Amino acid sequence: MKTLTIEKELIDLQVKKLLNIIEVTEPKNDTLFSGRIGQILYYFYMFRYFEDEKYADKGVELIETILHNMDTHKSPYLLKPAFSYGLSGFGYVLSLLKDEGIIDINFDEQLCEFDDIVYTKTLEDVVKRNTDYLHGSLGVLLYLSRRLSNPKVEKYLEILVETLSKTAIRDSRGVRFENSHIARLNESDNINLGLAHGLCGILMILLKIHAKGICKTQIEEIVSGGINFILSYKTPQDFATGKYSFFPLTINEKEPWNSDKNIEEYGSRLGWCYGDLNEILLLYTASKQFGVPEWADIADEVGCNTIERKNRKETIVIDSHICHGSIGMAQYYKRFYEMTALPIYEEGYYYWIERTLQFLEKETTDPLFRSHAGELLEGFVGISLGLISAVSEEDLKWDSVFLLS
């Protein structure tokens, strides 16, 4: 994709404005999505983009702080394996930065320890059907998929995938999984189809493992069945009646698929976390990996239709952050354009970058948004990474923590 050269000066000024806010914001905790781990990712990519050593120094300082907090038991979250707040998220960021050549610090000894700890604890989570990508077992599988330099990890992944497969629900509609974490929080056993907590996220992570040559036959069966399940709920859009989505957010299988409660789930949300963009990403990725062009055709149909959805009613996008804001939308369209070269995705990308800049005019002075400045998922940290990706001459892979690269 061509860079936004015409806007580079403007975007650089905006990123530096956000930097000034982030630098004086105390991190809330040691987590990936709202704390220091996310800021490690941020500062090292700022170092790569601006080529200024002070950002690398800040990243090293944050790593040292987290390691100290782990040693002194000041970071209880990091005793747990979860990707969003625990050990696997920390390990993933360190592995990503090393793989990208951004850091040359050797963390192999620590990471091998992390591998053993998260595997043991995550096996229990898989058995208990906690399939959540952010807060359960699947994020740990994502981390381990980067850790094949450790000879133990391939076997760990084989066991985890086999155990996960045994928990799957299989019938004529296809394959899907329970999520005990969400069921407990929401007091609902609906099947979630989203990226953050549901089937799209599970299948995307399995595709990462499949790409490494592990459990290929088993994963092909699960992913194909999962896509069949998702496609069985695909229904036409009808803007006139307020039905903007092709796919539901969740499904209650105890009721008819077209019951009022299930129809309500075909909502207008578009975002990183929920909505039709999740299914498009899955379909494009699986189509290329498995050689099924029909899935890409469906993704083209749905994707081109999402471009028409721009206002608040049609998207529920009301701010700029990654999770369900405008920069998350932009990053999806950037990756879709790279996958397909369809000009309509480039159009969508530029539109949502411009919307992000417009939102920031208010958000940078709003105390509520400034209070979340240091967060990756819902703050200025993630927004800044999205903005530098718009003008960088390099392909910045920070968004792999969000399954987008």
Helix-strand-coil split of the chain, %, nearest 5: 60, 5, 35
pLDDT at 187: 75
pLDDT at 335: 98
Is residue 4 over pLDDT 60?
A: no
Distance from C-alpha of 294 to C-alpha of 305, rounded to nearest angstrom: 17
Q: Examine residue 336 and state whether it is found in any structural domain, yes or no.
A: no
* DSSP, res 152: T
Is residue 205 over pLDDT 90?
A: yes
pLDDT band at residue 2 under the 50/70/90 scheme: low
Distance from C-alpha of 198 to C-alpha of 34, rounded to nearest angstrom: 21
Q: What is the pLDDT of residues 368-393, one digit of tens each?
A: 999 999 999 999 999 999 999 999 99
Q: CA triplet 53, 381, 55: central angle to 5 degrees? A: 5
Q: Examine residue 195 and state whether it is found in any structural domain, yes or no.
A: yes
Identity of the residue numbered 355: R
pLDDT at 36: 97
Quick one: 104 and 190 in the same domain?
no
Q: Examine residue 150 and state whether it is found in any structural domain, yes or no.
A: yes
Q: Examine residue 128 and state whether it is found in any structural domain, yes or no.
A: yes
Give the residue-averaged pLDDT of 179-208. Answer: 93
| Lowest-pLDDT choice from 182-196, 303-317, 362-376 | 182-196
Query: Tokens for 395?
Result: 């392909």
pLDDT band at residue 162 under the 50/70/90 scheme: very high
State how far Cα 2 lies from the chain centre.
Answer: 24
Is residue 120 over pLDDT 80?
A: yes
Is residue 109 over pLDDT 80?
A: yes
Is residue 6 over pLDDT 60?
A: no
Q: Examine residue 326 and state whether it is found in any structural domain, yes or no.
A: no
Quick one: 188 and 200 in the same domain?
yes
Quick one: 152 and 178 in the same domain?
no
* DSSP, res 270: -
pLDDT at 1: 58
pLDDT band at residue 156 under the 50/70/90 scheme: very high
Quick one: 142 and 9 in the same domain?
no
Helices 8-23, 36-50: crossing angle, 10 deg rounding:
140
Q: Examine residue 64 and state whether it is found in any structural domain, yes or no.
A: no
What are residue 174's phi and psi, to 5 degrees?
A: 135, -150
Quick one: 204 and 280 in the same domain?
yes
pLDDT band at residue 185 under the 50/70/90 scheme: confident
Quick one: 194 and 299 in the same domain?
yes
Quick one: 163 and 177 in the same domain?
no
pLDDT at 211: 98
* Contact in structure between 276 and 308 (CB atoms under 8 Å): no
Distance from C-alpha of 207 to C-alpha of 196, rounded to nearest angstrom: 16
pLDDT band at residue 7 under the 50/70/90 scheme: confident
Q: What is the pLDDT of residues 228-285, one digit of tens each?
A: 999 999 999 988 888 999 999 999 999 998 999 999 999 899 999 999 999 999 999 9
Q: CA triplet 352, 51, 68: central angle to 5 degrees? A: 95
Query: Tokens for 142?
Result: 């994502």
Quick one: 198 and 301 in the same domain?
yes
Q: Which residues contact 59 (CB under 8 A, 6 or more apart)?
A: 39, 40, 43, 44, 47, 103
Residue stretches of the annotated binding site for Zn(2+): 273, 323-324
Which one of 135, 167, 199 terminates a domain? 167
Residue stretches of the annotated binding site: 273, 323-324
Percentage of residues in the chain with pLDDT exceeding 90? 90
Give the residue-averaged pLDDT of 73-77. Answer: 84
Domains: count for the chain: 3
Quick one: 152 and 184 in the same domain?
no
Dihedral-angle region of residue 31 (phi above 0 means left; psi in -120 to 50 means alpha; beta otherwise): beta
Distance from C-alpha of 336 to C-alpha of 322, rounded to nearest angstrom: 16
Query: Tokens for 247?
Result: 């796919």
CA torsion through residues 17, 18, 19, 20, sign: positive
* Contact in structure between 384 and 22 (CB atoms under 8 Å): yes
Quick one: 251 and 285 in the same domain?
yes
pLDDT band at residue 73 under the 50/70/90 scheme: confident
Q: What is the pLDDT of residues 313-331, one digit of tens each?
A: 999 999 999 999 999 999 9
Containing 174, the helix (H) or strand (E) segment is strand 174-176
Distance from C-alpha of 48 to C-alpha of 61, rounded to nearest angstrom: 17
Q: How far is the CA of 251 from the CAs of 193, 229, 242, 256, 269, in angstroms?
A: 8, 11, 19, 10, 15
Quick one: 231 and 279 in the same domain?
yes
Q: Examine residue 338 and state whether it is found in any structural domain, yes or no.
A: no
Distance from C-alpha of 187 to C-alpha of 51, rounded to nearest angstrom: 48
Q: CA triplet 16, 18, 22: central angle to 5 degrees? A: 115
Which one of 103, 135, 167 terminates a domain? 167
Which one of 301, 316, 331 terminates a domain? 316
Q: Examine residue 323 and state whether it is found in any structural domain, yes or no.
A: no
Quick one: 394 and 301 in the same domain?
no
CA torsion through residues 19, 398, 37, 382, sign: positive
Domain coverage including residue 268: 171-316
Q: What is the pLDDT of residues 388-404, one digit of tens each?
A: 999 999 999 999 999 99
What's the whole-number average pLDDT of the chain? 95
Percentage of residues in the chain with pLDDT exceeding 70? 99
